[in-house]
Amino acid sequence: MNRRSVLKATGALGAVFGLSGVASGTPGREPGPKKNEIVVGVGASVASAEAAVESNIPSNAEIVHTNDTLGYAAVEFPEAAAAEAKENFKRQVLDADGVEYAEENVTFEALEMESLESDDDASTSDVEPEYTPNDPYYSSQYAPQQVNCEGAWEKTLGDSDVTISIVDQGIQYDHPDLAENMDGSVSNSGYDFADRDSDPYPESGNEDHGTHVGGIAAGATDNGEGHAGISNCSLLSARALDTSGGGSLTDIADAIQWSADQGADIINLSLGGGGSTNLMAEACEYAYSQGSLIVAAAGNGYGNPVSYPAAYDTVVAVSSLDEGETLSNFSNVGPEIELAAPGGNVLSSVTWNDYASYSGTSMASPVVAGVAGLALSAWPNLSNDELREHLQQTAVDVGLAPEEQGYGRVDANNAVHTDPGTEPDPDPDPDPEPGDCGDEVNTASAQGELSGGWWGNPSDTYSYSLQTADPCHATVTLDGPSGADFDLYLTLDGRQPTTSDYDEGSTTPSGDEEIEVELSGDEELGILVDRYSGSGTYTLSLEELGK
């Protein structure tokens, strides 16, 4: 049996096994950020962190939590304690035998951007992928398609023996699109390190982050429900962030250690902002030494350096791409970036049995975690080092700088079908010689409504990327309401058209318009439907011809 099957055999004892070395916190210790605590770390030869630290703390402070596996004690000061008192303690305790560091119990945050409405009217392609899951929202997704999951799913949807732990706000483990993929070897599929109990369920309806992240990595695929996750691997929920999305260094470190001790093959950290700390580095080193692959979000600092923990050598740092495979404008960048993945406007599960689209490197990280799960399902004998190298070798260069994409955009199809230790075939299906224009046809459509008045909606915009192998011609048709005058404008470089900035226009005094353009293959179409007079619903149709 492999390492994971041995650990799963502990059954209901798994949660106890995984918490070895973690002492319970003081009753009443609040979840989330712990700004009045100092973390004191001891060397590997010290048997008890509490014993090493206890005699060195001042009378107004107390030890509120210890973890002997990671070798630290958390010391709490009164809220009114002066900052200088804590600084004095940090300097003095470093003189104690066995003490190696003393640092603030800093706060890390969920790395998520604003909520974005999913566009139910978005144009969809008629081109059939290799494997089409029956999840009803799949046609509104782009992330699995961008990383070529359809080809990977031909071989595997993901093995339940491969486990992905989500260190986050907690997962709604009874969500209809997540329940069947939650790891049943642990009570309630996880542990709550923020509240120190065995139920990692989100505390409020505002705690969407963990459920969204978990759904990206391993929401049930091809189950006729909701959206499609990247994999059907098993999910563990390690709740370490509170209702505000913040979590303490110690809670997150404990959650990482617990995940590794549970035998998690992959640990996802969609969090950051706490800076480099000794304890977080040690927690990641511990998990990596136990065989876990750690994947983390690079940060949403609009081009700032890569955030910790993603910046550690033991962690795979992930940047975010938008649907057009351009770097998301919020993504951090730097030499630590290892892989890129879709993170802009990603659809997934949220609490209250619902679904929504969110943006952030928080969304890109679990895409990589899910692809790692698919790769390990296909190649179960890979170590975490080998799996990491395999993801690097099978990534796709999308034309960005190395500090923006690392080895490239993660690719599920390559990772599943390429023998580890080899490079993927750069051209597995050579394109045939182009035929006549119209040999390949792709269509897309959308519906909308334009109205006038103070609160009216005077125009709608759309974008369309060419889908045929060798595009040669496109026709855009607007079918508007009778008695109205709607105009149609088109750009060929993807920029958003306006009534004064466009490449082609059709503005006859009616509700029906049509634009035909010849294509060379480099175009991206921007479309504007504008109300000149009248109001009502319309249908926008696009026919693209290829050779």
Respond yes or no: is residue 362 known to be catalytic.
yes
CA 493/CA 310 separation, integer angstroms: 35
Q: How is 154-206 classified by DSSP, letter by letter? A: TT-S--TTSEEEEEES---TT-TTTGGGB-TTSGGGEEETTTTBS----SSTT
Q: How is 485-536 classified by DSSP, letter by letter? A: EEEEEEESBSPPP-SSS-SEEE--SSSEEEEEEE--S--EEEEEEEEEE--E
Both tokens of residue 16?
Answer: 């106890």
Measured distance between the N- and C-terminal CA atoms of the chain, rounded to whole angstroms: 52
> How far is CA 188 from its chain centroid?
23
Cα-trace Rg, the chain: 26
Q: Is the peptide bond before 309 cis (omega within 30 degrees of 0)?
A: yes
The residue among 278, 383, 359 whose CA lies nearest residue 116 is 359
Catalytic residue among 165, 359, 362, 535: 362
Residue 301, C-beta contacts closer than 8 angstroms, at least 6 positions apart: 307, 330, 332
The answer to whether the CB of 305 falls within 8 A of the CB of 277 is: no
Respond yes or no: is residue 209 known to be catalytic.
yes
The answer to whether the CB of 226 falls within 8 A of the CB of 85 is: no
Which residue numbers are catalytic? 168, 209, 362
